[in-house]
Structure 1
Amino acid sequence: MATGATFALASGCSGESEGDDAGARDSEVASVASGKPGGDKKEAADKSEAGRPQIRLDTTIEEEVRMYQGYLRCLKDHGVDIGRAGGKGGDQIDPNSLWFPGIDVAEELPEVEKACLSKKPLTPPELDPKRNPKYMEDYHEWIECNNRRGLKVDPLPDGSGWNFKEDGEIPDNADQIDSECEYEAFSE
């Protein structure tokens, strides 16, 4: 089983690469075209992230589920089946239930992903290799911490997550260990 962040809509924290419940950015900066090659691509990336909810390293699972509500509702409104098991029903997705689209929306339904992208929470910047220059160093600390605390895992070579070791037992508090180690490694 691989994981990327605390959970990545399915799991991973991640991150949801990717701050506050309102999804507002701390500040907005007007930009002027630089005329440099690649400037338009950077501006397009900045615009695709503007106004999106920002998950933090210390965001709780309940907060993260709340932050994903708009994105999941948008996917559902565009015909994507949002699976759930053990939920209580209603408009809100129960954080204690399994909830996920069941497909890679960006790959299989790029037009729907594009339509809903403005509502999709951003992964914490610390967990985004493009935004964290120390990502691989922090990643290795995360893996070492998991192993030291009894959650025996093998890192994936690209730093995108980990797999349980075949000969290791999975502790009852595996999610807690992983979450605490991730926070410890990436928040320094």
Structure 2
Amino acid sequence: MLNLFHRTAVATAVGTAGLLLLTACGGVGGNDDAGKGSDGEVASLTTPAADGGSASASADPDAGRPQIRLDSTNEEVDRMYQAWEACLKEHGAQEKYKRKPNDPSVLACKGKEPLNPPELDPSKNPDYSDDVREMVKCMKGHGIKALVYQGNWALETGDEMNRPHYDEYELQCQVKAFGGDK
């Protein structure tokens, strides 16, 4: 059974493999700093220290990272991941399955790693369970065999992704279910 995260991961891996050679570290994706005089560093806040000096406190570690929206198309998501993958490669990253979180290339490109929509994170969305059920209902309304599986939505078979207009319906249902009026 495939859920959105698995489908996105598969699509991203396939798309990234094919287009990685065509992409440069900057220039694609939502947060391109190229040509703007930015050195790509994460901003930090300076706050007064107890001794009267100043202490540097890190800003939100996710600030400035490309944000995937509920209504982002597969092509938009692929471009964001391609930019991140190209940056990793430029910084000497090894094969994707061998990367460690403290790998220098991962740290150097952290600001380009896309963030998933917060609405799709059960820890950030208090209505997640209801939204999952709404997603399944919407997909079934378009004739796509979907179900709730281990707290997430899933497809009965991978063949469901081959149905005409699947991507269009998935995007519509995702926006309706997870981003609808609550």
Report the TM-score range of the alignment, normalised by the length of the smaller protein: 0.5 to 0.7
Q: Deviations over 1:88-130 (max 9, x none)?
A: xxxxxxxxxxxxx4x3x6xx53333444332111111211222
- Structure 1 residues 168 and 179: alpha-carbon distance in aligned structure 2, compared to 1, 3 A threshold: closer
**What runs of 5+ residues in structure 1 fail to find an aligned partner?**
13-19, 33-42, 82-100
Is the CA contact (8 Å cut-off) linking 1:126 and 1:186 kept in structure 2?
Answer: yes
Looking at structure 2, the residues matched to 69 and 165 of structure 1 have their Cα atoms a distance apart, in angstroms, of 27
Is the CA contact (8 Å cut-off) linking 1:6 and 1:179 kept in structure 2?
Answer: no
- Given the alignment, which residue of 74, 93, 109 partners 1:79? 93
CA RMSD of aligned residues (A): 3.7
- TM-superposed CA distance for 1:21, in Å, is 2.0
Which position in structure 2 is the counterpart of 1:22? 31
Looking at structure 2, the residues matched to 79 and 140 of structure 1 have their Cα atoms a distance apart, in angstroms, of 39
Looking at structure 2, the residues matched to 174 and 122 of structure 1 have their Cα atoms a distance apart, in angstroms, of 23
- TM-superposed CA distance for 1:67, in Å, is 2.0
- Given the alignment, which residue of 156, 163, 166 partners 1:164? 156
Give identity over the alignment, percent: 32
- Given the alignment, which residue of 148, 162, 165 partners 1:173? 165
- TM-superposed CA distance for 1:11, in Å, is 4.9
Letter in 2 for 1:110: P
**What runs of 5+ residues in structure 2 fail to find an aligned partner?**
13-28, 34-42, 48-56
- Structure 1 residues 66 and 166: alpha-carbon distance in aligned structure 2, compared to 1, 3 A threshold: closer
Is the CA contact (8 Å cut-off) linking 1:52 and 1:122 kept in structure 2?
Answer: yes
Letter in 1 for 2:101: P
Instruction: Tell me, yes or no, if structure 1 residue 57 matches structure 2 residue 70.
Output: yes
TM-score, with normalisation over the residues of structure 2? 0.60
Looking at structure 1, the residues matched to 161 and 60 of structure 2 have their Cα atoms a distance apart, in angstroms, of 45
Looking at structure 2, the residues matched to 166 and 66 of structure 1 have their Cα atoms a distance apart, in angstroms, of 24
- Structure 1 residues 162 and 184: alpha-carbon distance in aligned structure 2, compared to 1, 3 A threshold: same
- TM-superposed CA distance for 1:167, in Å, is 10
Letter in 1 for 2:81: Y
TM-score, with normalisation over the residues of structure 1? 0.59
Instruction: Tell me, yes or no, if structure 1 residue 146 matches structure 2 residue 139.
Output: yes
- TM-superposed CA distance for 1:175, in Å, is 2.5
Looking at structure 2, the residues matched to 5 and 117 of structure 1 have their Cα atoms a distance apart, in angstroms, of 20
Which is greater in Rg? 2
Which position in structure 1 is the counterpart of 2:179? 187
Looking at structure 2, the residues matched to 23 and 134 of structure 1 have their Cα atoms a distance apart, in angstroms, of 33
- Structure 1 residues 75 and 155: alpha-carbon distance in aligned structure 2, compared to 1, 3 A threshold: farther
